[in-house]
Structure 1
């Protein structure tokens, strides 16, 4: 990929422009919403005869001269635009910005375009209607980029915009959702709902349990397999199954000893993948204010079928009231 296309501000300009002519080292390339072509492949760059869905495919089922017409290949129209957005967001997180505080601004034009397309409320890099499923984003590819939080406030901890990291956004849907988003409150820096934020809160209703997060001494801390979960009502996964927990931390502390000792860590059931992988996604949270039920997000965990049978007891009541805050020292409630 050309170095220019790795810049954060360039991404939205490339996607929103109707047509682009790329000048490569050996040939020119064409890109629009119907076709990607090059001098060596003037009819399109796909090898199987289908129209490649490129980075500029911003409209559902935009006609193209090489597109297959099999209606069975079309995704659920309810989620098409939402999942297009998650793909854009994942690509954006791989790009670099000279000023990290530009993170919201450099994608604002795309957010406005999508807002006009799907007619939904923009919520700190996500969308209100299927927000519960979008919360299952995770930090990934630690070897390329060490995840960190911006020095200048960008977004609440439940938003992927709050992290300087490569992000894998979740598939948007409405199946297997194990919590309910009761309300969202955002404090805007301007009158633009797609613009910079000063703070935000998310109110959730679901199954909340205490949890401890431990680092495995024989693993490098900046890896998915370096951390494990312990739940009071669930034995370690190694004792009941053959799969390890996958723990994706948003940033990397040395350990969670103080949080474990003080009982500050919790998990909340998020999405039960009942169709493909038989996994249950858990939000990993730190309690900032027990009386007011204020939490910040610390990561995401994926647990397999052996624990799901124990975690699936929905008769248990939440231990605390629940809300999100923006994650800085002076919490807004």
Structure 2
């Protein structure tokens, strides 16, 4: 891991226990490449990368959490699947917010200078088989301070969906994490605005868009009413007359648990 050592040599004491941007990009690239590997046992997904994760942990001092890193937790939630498959039936191996929970290649998205993350990490709980954080995960949850907006699926013409939200209807291209979830008209789900970013038009003007996670409420939850699982994501832009401000910033933030 020569690249990791190069990033380490450029660190200063103020960056202790936190990844540098270069190391974040290095891990993101590694995840993309690793997610394309054909593992004999998909259930070993986190176990097989544990040795590399241990090196990152030793060099950065950051906290490893089910394939993500605590100091960049919100940024590392921005992964997408473009060719979803069924989830491995062998059993639980990672929380729904981790790329390791799916068996498809994932695309991770870097950090642009103008990006603003719209969620804050409040609490992380990871239960592993042994005291070693790199061992098999038995359960995990992340409590986020975020906006979660309920919607009803009005029409589904994959890969496009039209949702009815409190602020109005909007149409987007959706990216399900797996093919196990069947989106149908009348379904009730929620979305969480994750990241505000910009692209540039022909005249150089900034055009905003928001990356949103699709969530389903965990109806079996007894501890917290606001407990969700990740279903996928979509990007909400201004096309089709979408009003980003009211659709993404019209509700109050609250603590929600993602499992």
Aligned equivalent of 1:280, options 205, 210, 213: 210
Q: How many residues align?
A: 237
- For normalisation by structure 2, the TM-score amounts to 0.81
Rg comparison, structure with higher value: 1
Q: Given the superposition, is the C-alpha separation of residues 133 and 106 from structure 1 closer, same or farther in structure 2, using an over 3 Å criterion?
A: same
Given the alignment, which residue of 7, 17, 20 partners 1:78? 20
CA contact (8 A) 1:100 1:150 kept: no
- CA distance in 1 between counterparts of 2:181 and 2:91 reads 23
Alignment of 1:126-137 (within 5 A): 126-137=68-79
Of the three residues 236, 246, 252, the one matched with 1:317 is: 252
Give the whole-Å Cα distance in 1 for the aligned partners of 2:60 and 2:199. Answer: 26
Q: What is the alpha-carbon root mean square deviation over aligned residues?
A: 2.7
Structure 1 residues 18-37: aligned runs within 5 Å: 33=2
Name the structure 1 match of 2:131.
191
Structure 1: runs of 5+ lacking an equivalent: 1-15, 17-32, 34-56, 64-76, 220-224, 238-244, 326-333
Q: Is the aligned partner of 1:159 residue 2:98? A: yes
Match of 1:298, SS state, is strand
CA pair 200-172 structure 1, distance change in 2 beyond 3 A: farther
- The structure richer in strand per residue is 2
Aligned counterpart for 1:203 among listed residues 126, 143, 150: 143
Distance 1:197 1:61 in 2: 29
> So what's the TM-score if we normalise by structure 1?
0.64
Alpha-carbon distance change, 62 to 287 in structure 1, aligned in 2, over 3 angstroms: closer
Q: Alpha-carbon deviation of 1:176?
A: 0.7
Q: Kindly indicate whether the alpha-carbon contact (under 8 Å) linking 1:288 and 1:295 is maintained by their aligned counterparts in 2.
A: yes
The aligned counterpart of 2:164 is 230
Work out which of the residue numbers 227, 234, 248 in structure 2 matches 1:294.
227
